Amino acid sequence: MSTTVDTDLLVVGAGPTGLYAAYYAGFRGLRTALVDSLPEPGGQISAMYPEKMIYDVAGFPAIKGQDLVDALVEQAAPFEPNYLLGHRAEQLAQDEEGVTVTCASGLVVRTKVVLISGGIGTFSPRPLPAADAFTGEGVRYFVPRLADLAGLDVLIVGGGDSAFDWATSLEPIAKSITLVHRRDRFRAHEHTVRRVLASTAEVITSAEVTALLGNGQVRAADVVGKLDGAVRTLPVQAVVAALGFVADLGPMTHWGLEQRKRHILVNQAMRTNLERVFAAGDIVDYDGKVKLIATGFGEAATAVNNAMTVIDPSAHVFPGHSSDVP
């Protein structure tokens, strides 16, 4: 494929932050394109936890991940952003008139400004060692459809937010939930931990899953206590390994961006060290950074408004309130 697309603003990453940036750029009258290596918008939410409830988005006491993505797509739709999905941004080059981004597929995008909102970059799950020797099915690293595990004995491995979120979401519909963590302390949010401990889920700490048993389909799992070496064989038809993900900025590491611990450094205007390149969302870092979807929304608006003055030097950073627009 060798196609050239011209736009005012190219958003690299079509997760929640990128989708909100597309809306805000349209509100400011910009032609916007979004490029993402995934085949659909939504980023990590659509890929990993579309049915999980999210509780910290302003205005929504609770909202499913995919419902939030759908609402963001609908919000941006009147401005007709150009979705370039299934394309990984590979190279970035600048000249006096703008920026050229070339994708691995051969797609070329000419833009006046780039806004990077690639979440954690390319992500891959940390493997469950016990699954290495198991050739059957039943092991997964995220749950796109909760209903797939309804009525099953589910084993969740991990002690972070994802592990406890899956336990909370699956407990009402699974036959049983067992959560195993190798330590006696958890990284998950305290409120979620309390909810799981008060539920019907069994939580086993200071233990590891050492083997998965079954012929073609997992049927049981051996759990070994780290303190006494005792072995328990649990009936299991599904294993959710929530051990975290390894993030990689991929080709962006060669774009000349100033970075800190696999994150892009920005200033208070969401500018990177490269002219005409802004960034927002989980991919950025600065002193006091808090990784929340809500934070990403504010960063997206800040980035777009400041990018507007780069595209049109006569424009103002503050556009006025949307409620003032007829």
- Residues at the binding site for FAD are 17, 36, 44, 49, 89, 123, 282, 323
**Phi/psi of residue 197, each to 5°?**
-65, -30
Q: List all residues 6 or more positions away from 322 whose beta carbon is below 8 Å from its beta carbon.
A: 27
- C-alpha span between 248 and 124 (Å, rounded): 9
Amino acid identity of residue 13, one-letter, is: G
- How many CB atoms sit inside 10 A of residue 1's CB? 9
Q: Which residue has the tokens 């960034």?
A: 279
The span from the CA of 243 to the CA of 260, in Å, is 23
What are the residues whose beta carbons fall under 8 Å from the beta carbon of 228, sequence distance 6 or more?
none
Residue among 55, 188, 47, 51 nearest 121 (CA):
47
- The string of DSSP letters for 251-268 reads GGGGTT--EETTEEE--T
CB atoms within 10 A of CB 206: 14
**Which residues are annotated binding-site positions?**
17, 36, 44, 49, 89, 123, 282, 323
Q: Is the distance from CB of 252 to CB of 168 less than 8 angstroms?
A: no
The whole-angstrom separation of Cα 47 and Cα 125 is: 12
User: What are the phi and psi torsion angles at 143 (to 5°)?
Assistant: -125, 90
Name the token pair of 316. Answer: 């103002």
β-strands 82-85, 139-140: how paired? unpaired
